[in-house]
């Protein structure tokens, strides 16, 4: 197999080996070298890097992700680019640091499929070797019989890393949900997985009061983040707002109510946008604005549909929360099919 050397330039140069059919991002994360990453689908631009020398091959990115000027200057998406020669790249100066867990291929076994709400299940998957990950990160599933992958966030805290929990909502006609998980997946079935991915993670160095805004199954990574925070500080102040359309879409209500009884600093606010029957009628961002005059000194984690996340960010800023304290993850529709094997390198 042909491979190339890929170097990140700068004051802390790093070099990894990348196969000719392997994405740059995959190669770096498998080597334990951090590169910024989020969607891994070529839609967010988080992993944008500049090719200083050498050449890569990638599908033409959308100009809304990588502008025409940036493309002309040599910017590419590390999650979509494969090398065609030895390469030297430059990472943006403001990229910062992130989770440095080694990307792995995993084979899991279904331990439990439990109905949570209307068209939503909790899937528990056991793995032979514990996975090192940060609260908030996600895993890719390979959809059997296809080249498709789907992304699901871990709902369990990193302290329970041999049994991973996922919250999955059915998508009408979805190849992964209607065609597999809700159709034929059963206890004992194997699941091919790869991870961990993503920069949406709990900042354990910040002990400020937490605002958690979740839309639908965006609750999953926030559950992981909240449980990790409470394990470090049982008195941590946490305000969780969970927004769905109808009461039949709410889930884990008993769990969160039990958490509020055990931890006096935790407040749980379910919100329904289309009907009455919960603590609030309306959207999570609106409920947040109603409840707080100021969010200075707080930190926020938002996860869910793009419109909900964008509205939540505006709500936080309206209550004077600095942008640097707002962490967000948008759940977007599955990208165009990407071959699993193209960047997968057996351990």
Measured in whole angstroms, the distance separating CA 328 from the mean position of its chain's CA atoms is 9
User: What's the token pair of residue 222?
Assistant: 């926030």
Selected residue with higher pLDDT from 96 and 39? 39
Q: For the chain, what percent of residues have pLDDT higher than 70? A: 94
Phi/psi-derived region of residue 224, left when phi > 0, alpha when psi is between -120 and 50, beta in every other case: alpha
Architecture of 3-95 per CATH? Roll (3.10)
Q: How many residues does the chain have?
A: 347
Respond yes or no on whether the N-terminal peptide bond of residue 196 is cis (omega within 30° of 0). Answer: yes
CATH 2.40.30.10 location in the chain = 104-199
Average pLDDT, the chain: 92
CB 64 within 8 A of CB 70: no
Backbone angles phi, psi at 238, to 5 degrees: -135, 125
Domain 210-330 of CATH type 3.40.50.80: yes
The DSSP bridge partners found for residue 304 are: 330
User: What is the C-alpha separation between 29 and 195, in angstroms, rounded?
Assistant: 9
Per-residue pLDDT, 344? 34
Handedness of CA 261, 262, 263, 269 (dihedral sign): negative
pTM for this model (two decimals): 0.92
- Tell me the average pLDDT across 236-259: 97
Reply yes or no on whether the pLDDT at 48 is more than 50.
yes
8 Å CB contact between 211 and 288: yes
pLDDT for the residue numbered 9 = 85
Intervals of CATH 3.40.50.80 along the chain:
210-330
Averaged pLDDT, 322-333: 92
Residue 336 confidence (pLDDT): 43
Q: What is d(CA 309, CA 331) in angstroms, rounded to the nearest whole number? A: 9
Please determine, for residue 92, whether its predicted confidence score (pLDDT) is greater than 90. Answer: no
Architecture of the domain made up of 104-199: Beta Barrel (2.40)
Question: Please, which contacts does 342-345 make with residues 24 or more away whose CB atoms are closer than 8 Å?
Answer: 342/21, 342/22, 342/23, 342/82, 343/21, 343/22, 343/23, 343/26, 343/82, 344/26, 344/105, 344/194, 345/19, 345/22, 345/26, 345/27, 345/30, 345/105
CATH 3.10.20.30 in the chain is located at 3-95
């Amino acid at each position: 197999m042909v491979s190339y050397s890929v170097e990140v330039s700068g004051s802390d140069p790093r070099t990894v080996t990348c196969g000719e059919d392997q994405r740059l991002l995959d190669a770096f994360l498998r080597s334990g070298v951090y590169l910024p990453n989020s969607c891994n689908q070529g839609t967010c631009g988080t992993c944008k890097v500049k090719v200083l020398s050498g050449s890569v091959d990638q599908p033409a990115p959308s100009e809304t992700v990588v502008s025409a000027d940036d493309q002309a200057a040599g910017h590419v998406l590390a999650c979509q680019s494969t090398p065609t020669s030895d390469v030297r790249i430059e990472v943006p100066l403001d990229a910062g640091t992130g989770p440095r867990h080694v990307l792995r291929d995993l084979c899991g076994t279904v331990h439990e499929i439990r109905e949570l709400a209307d068209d939503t299940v909790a899937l528990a998957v056991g793995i032979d070797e514990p996975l090192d990950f940060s609260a908030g990160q996600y895993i890719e599933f390979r959809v059997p019989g296809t080249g498709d992958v789907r992304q699901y966030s871990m709902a369990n805290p990193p302290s329970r890393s041999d049994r991973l929990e996922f919250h999955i909502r059915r998508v009408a006609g979805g190849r992964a949900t209607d065609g597999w998980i809700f159709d034929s997946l059963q206890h004992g079935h194997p699941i091919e997985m790869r991870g961990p991915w993503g920069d949406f993670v709990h900042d354990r160095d910040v002990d400020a009061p937490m605002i958690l805004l979740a839309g639908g199954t965006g609750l999953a990574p926030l559950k992981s983040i909240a449980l990790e925070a409470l394990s470090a500080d049982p008195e941590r102040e946490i305000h969780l707002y969970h927004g769905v359309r109808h009461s039949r879409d709410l889930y884990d209500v008993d769990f969160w109510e039990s958490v509020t009884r055990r931890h006096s600093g935790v407040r749980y606010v379910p919100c329904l946008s289309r009907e009455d029957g919960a603590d609030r009628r309306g959207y999570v961002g609106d409920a947040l604005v109603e409840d707080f005059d100021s969010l200075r000194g707080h930190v926020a984690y938002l996860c869910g549909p793009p419109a909900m996340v964008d509205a939540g960010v505006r709500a936080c800023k309206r209550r004077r929360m600095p942008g640097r304290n707002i962490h967000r993850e948008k759940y977007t529709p599955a990208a165009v099919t990407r071959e699993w094997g193209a960047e997968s390198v057996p351990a």
